[in-house]
């Protein structure tokens, strides 16, 4: 806490960031890990803490003390008491239920029997339950994995997904170290960080997620670097047919070596 800091954290979970403050860039990068940008007028940017933004932070390895420490270090004033309590509550909810795989079966597990009882009896989960294994475990429809995760978010207890994914066909691919214009190239640090977070060292907890970056920050580079890390054939989906589709495809094909095997399906 320091009146000279760039943040004001409010009890409605909104966070105000002074754009012209010397610590703006540091505070912005910190907030990007656990808050959503809502408004960005000229002088004051508004962020908001949401259950989903906090759960995404938890999925990326942040805990409540780390989030509170960052907010405190950049805040002008003491954090509202309800904000501290809500951050601790929401972050603690992530991972209390887990998706795991046993053979071909997709299971939902929690060591909290009361919580599992609540989840099993919730109407949002009913369509996906195939079998009650024991008081802490149920078998769910593997083809509805995404629907199950959405239902759990709605219930308020997002799952830690440890079920892993089926490996695709091998695809040898390397990123260029020199651009077509002859300039040295390597992904920026934040792009490499995004790939590393997504890949998670090949652990079952990796392999899914949403990369959020502003226009011009190199989302295509992150995608290509991810493919190069996985070394697997990849299906790239673009928006529905429009003038922008050709732009998307040109962006991808321009930045990937012509030696690689590409097919465009319309």
Contacts 24+ apart (CB under 8 A), 183-192: 187/218, 187/221, 187/222, 187/225, 188/218, 188/221, 190/217, 191/218, 191/221, 191/222, 191/225, 192/225
Low-confidence ranges of the chain (pLDDT < 50): 259, 264
* Strand-pair partners of 160: 98
Domain contains 1: no
CB atoms within 10 A of CB 71: 23
* CA–CA dist 110, 159 (Å, integer): 10
What's the burial of 129, exposed, middle or buried (CB within 10 Å: 0-12/13-18/19+)? Answer: middle
- In contact, 24 and 4? CB cutoff 8 Å: no
pLDDT (0 to 100) of residue 243: 52
pLDDT (0 to 100) of residue 257: 53
| φ and ψ at residue 143, rounded to 5 degrees | -75, -10
User: Model-level pTM?
Assistant: 0.75
Same domain, 232 and 156: no
Last residue of a domain, one of 133, 161, 189: 161
What's the burial of 210, exposed, middle or buried (CB within 10 Å: 0-12/13-18/19+)? Answer: exposed
pLDDT (0 to 100) of residue 245: 53
Domain contains 56: yes
- In contact, 45 and 19? CB cutoff 8 Å: yes
Total domains in the chain come to 3
Question: The dihedral of CA 150, 205, 194, 238: what is its sign?
Answer: negative
* CA–CA dist 57, 65 (Å, integer): 12
Last residue of a domain, one of 93, 124, 141: 93
Same domain, 178 and 149: no
* CA–CA dist 197, 93 (Å, integer): 21
- In contact, 112 and 96? CB cutoff 8 Å: yes
Same domain, 191 and 222: yes
Q: What's the CATH code of the domain at 112? A: 3.30.70
Structure tokens at 43: 């002088």
Encode pLDDT of 20-32 as tens digits: 999 999 999 899 8
Same domain, 18 and 85: yes
pLDDT (0 to 100) of residue 255: 63
Same domain, 185 and 145: no
> ∠ CA(14), CA(16), CA(22), 5° rounding?
150
Rounded (10°) CA dihedral 15, 21, 23, 29: 50
Same domain, 102 and 150: yes
Q: Which domain holds residue 121?
A: 97-161
């Amino acid at each position: 806490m320091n009146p000279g800091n760039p943040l004001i954290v409010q009890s409605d979970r909104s966070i105000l960031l002074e754009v012209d403050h010397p610590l703006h860039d540091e505070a912005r990068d910190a907030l990007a890990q656990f808050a959503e940008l809502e408004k960005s007028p000229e002088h004051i940017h508004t962020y908001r803490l949401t259950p989903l933004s906090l759960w995404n932070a938890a999925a990326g390895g942040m805990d409540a003390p780390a989030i509170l420490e960052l907010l405190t270090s950049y805040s002008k004033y003491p954090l509202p008491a309800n904000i501290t309590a809500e951050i601790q509550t929401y972050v603690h909810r992530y991972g209390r239920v887990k998706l795991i795989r046993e053979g071909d079966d997709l299971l939902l597990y929690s060591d909290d029997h009361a919580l599992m009882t609540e989840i099993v009896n919730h109407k949002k989960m009913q369509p996906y339950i195939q079998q009650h294994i024991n008081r802490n475990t149920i078998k769910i429809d593997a083809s509805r994995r995404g629907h199950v995760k959405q239902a759990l978010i709605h219930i308020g207890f997002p799952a830690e997904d440890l079920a892993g994914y089926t490996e695709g066909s091998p695809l040898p691919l390397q990123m260029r170290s020199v651009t077509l214009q002859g300039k040295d190239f390597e992904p920026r640090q934040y792009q490499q960080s995004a790939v590393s977070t997504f890949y998670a060292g090949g652990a079952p907890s990796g392999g899914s997620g949403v990369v959020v970056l502003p226009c011009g920050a190199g989302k295509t580079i992150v995608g290509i670097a991810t493919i190069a890390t996985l070394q697997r054939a990849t299906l790239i989906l673009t928006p529905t047919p429009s003038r922008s589709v050709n732009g998307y495809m040109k962006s991808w094909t321009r930045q990937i070596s012509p030696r690689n095997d590409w097919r465009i399906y319309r």
